[in-house]
Amino acid sequence: MGVKTLLVCLTTSEHAETLMTFAAPLARKHDAHLIGLHTVEALLVYPGIAMHVPEPAFAAFNESQRAESEAIEAIFTKHTQNEDFPSEFRLLRAEAVSASDRMVESARAADLVIMAREDEATDRYDQRQAQVRVIRESGRPVIVVPLNYEGPTIGSNILLGWSDTREAARAAHDLLILAEEGAAVSVLRVRSKPQDAFKDSDGIDLAEMLSRHGLKPALEQRDPSGGDIAQTLNQFAFEKGADLIVTGAFGHSKAYDFVIGATTYALLRESTLPVMFCK
């Protein structure tokens, strides 16, 4: 069926251009309905803090929010006004919840969500960790685009990070909405002491499934050789000329991720390619 509803979360004007340069060709390719979402921050005054916020402060805050929203909408309009695919710009107020909550709510009706990598230099406080929240809670695949990314339209050469997990299985099937007919799909296991691919029955079954969808899968295995899984995925993607990395996300508990670290967080921080995270 492909992608028919695309949600792009336009958090800041600094990264809206990169996201729209990525999202508009994808919407054109799939003739998808493209929704640009921007959330307006709420100015919250907590009851436990006795302070008076002067009227000029409210006015200045509202003016800054208005200017940012208009700048983002102008970028969205520039990329969509001459296109044939349907599009709409949504401006939502965070009110008493965070921007992340609004993104999660909006994401649930989308086939695919597109977000920029987190940027502490420009993101508002209520936008921090929005990518993690949307990946964990929306139930939708989320593509996170590196800052200032200028790569090709995705879908012809995909790298799938594969393991025997529910999240990886979800990723393998989610990529079908993006893959072009005849697309190359590298199914990569990263593990110490790689085994004979012909003895990998689960991997062979997955490759056969992808092949039935008209794709060209190739089973691959690689030893991380002292590096971590994220580094190995990035290096392999570079060698293969992949345009997208697809992987399961957050296969461990939050406590494990916080204490030990996880591949998902490393890819969110370090990937030089767009990564589609599936939970």
Q: Read off the pLDDT of residues 50-106 as tens digits, 9 standing for 90 and up.
A: 455 566 655 666 677 888 999 999 999 999 999 999 999 999 987 667 888 999 999
Is 157-278 CATH 3.40.50.620? yes
Q: How many of the other CB atoms lie within 10 Å of CB of 129? A: 14
pLDDT tens-place string over residues 166-221:
999 999 999 999 999 999 999 999 887 766 666 678 889 999 999 999 999 999 98
Domain with CATH 3.40.50.620 in the chain: 5-145, 157-278
Tokens of 270: 């370090």
Annotation: CATH topology of 5-145:
Rossmann fold (3.40.50)
Return the ∠ at Cα 183 (arms to 182 and 185), rounded to 5°. Answer: 125
Q: Locate 103 and state its tokens.
A: 């993104």
**Reported confidence tier of residue 252, pLDDT bands at 50, 70, 90:** low
Please tell me the predicted confidence (pLDDT) of residue 253. Answer: 56
256 and 262 in contact (C-beta within 8 Å)?
yes
- In angstroms, what CA-CA distances link 175 with 38, 41, 142, 188, 212? 26, 33, 11, 14, 14
